[in-house]
Amino acid sequence: MKIGLVSYEFIDNDIEFNISQMEKAMRSVQGKVNLLCFGETFLQGFDALNWNYENDKHIAISVDSEIIQQICGMTLRYKTDILFGYIEKCDDSLYSSCAVIENGKLVHKYRRISKGWKKYSITDSHYKEGTDTSEFLYHGQSVMIALCGDIWDYPERFKTNNLLIWPVYVNFDLGEWTKYEGEYAEQAYLAANQTLMINSISENPKSYGGAFYFVDGKLEKKLAYDTESILIIEV
């Protein structure tokens, strides 16, 4: 099974552009990978919310939205499955979630369990975290998903003998990354022997992106920073 880790730019509150980035990646690897993985909240952008529920409820999307259906259609058109982060609306609650769409259908949804995705000192009860950390089957292989701070706050909740996919959004500068690459690899090893970590590029604030393959607590492969590219890993 081949998985592509996509380090592309997103723009906050520009879903049309961000979906076009998904489509660009699908088009570029059509027939070469089974699954493309994007970073945390890639669909709307990590800083899309302003923590006023009356505003934010219109930015979040539900799993039965036309936007999700559009992305489902793209997986059929390009014969490439997709995993991506997004701000989810369910009834009157908002979550930082991750969707897996396989062959035109939503087959798995994960909600971040750590609270660092939001400004929790000013948010109300509409902004919630998930509770379930179950694995799912993809092409016969068990896969675990964690989002960003999950592996720092609750590594024991994600302990697996299988593959961990870890979408994040962090905006370290290039000097900081020389230190944090190793720390992220070691932290991932508390949960899994094999981890795929994906970070997106953004301009405001500046994020240099990156994609990483960690094996047994060590960095095995990575992408160059600040360059839109796809790291393809066979697992």
Of all residues in the chain, the percent with pLDDT exceeding 70 is: 100
* 158 residue type, one letter: F
Q: Which domains does the chain have, with CATH numbers?
A: 2-234 (3.60.110.10)
> How many angstroms separate the CA atoms of 153 and 137, rounded?
25
Helices (H) and strands (E) counted in the chain, each on its own, are 5, 12
In the chain, % of residues over pLDDT 90: 99
* Predicted confidence (pLDDT) per residue in 83-123, tens digit: 999 999 999 999 999 999 999 999 999 999 999 999 999 99
Beta strands in 41-162 (DSSP E): 81-90, 93-102, 105-111, 136-138, 141-145
| pTM as predicted | 0.98
Q: Please say whether the beta carbons of 156 and 137 come within 8 A.
A: no
The whole-number pLDDT of residue 19 equals 98
Q: How far apart are CA 34 and CA 36, in angstroms?
A: 7
Model pLDDT, residue 31:
86
Q: Does residue 32 have a pLDDT over 90?
A: yes
What are 168-204's pLDDT values in tens digits? Answer: 999 999 999 999 999 999 999 999 999 999 999 999 9
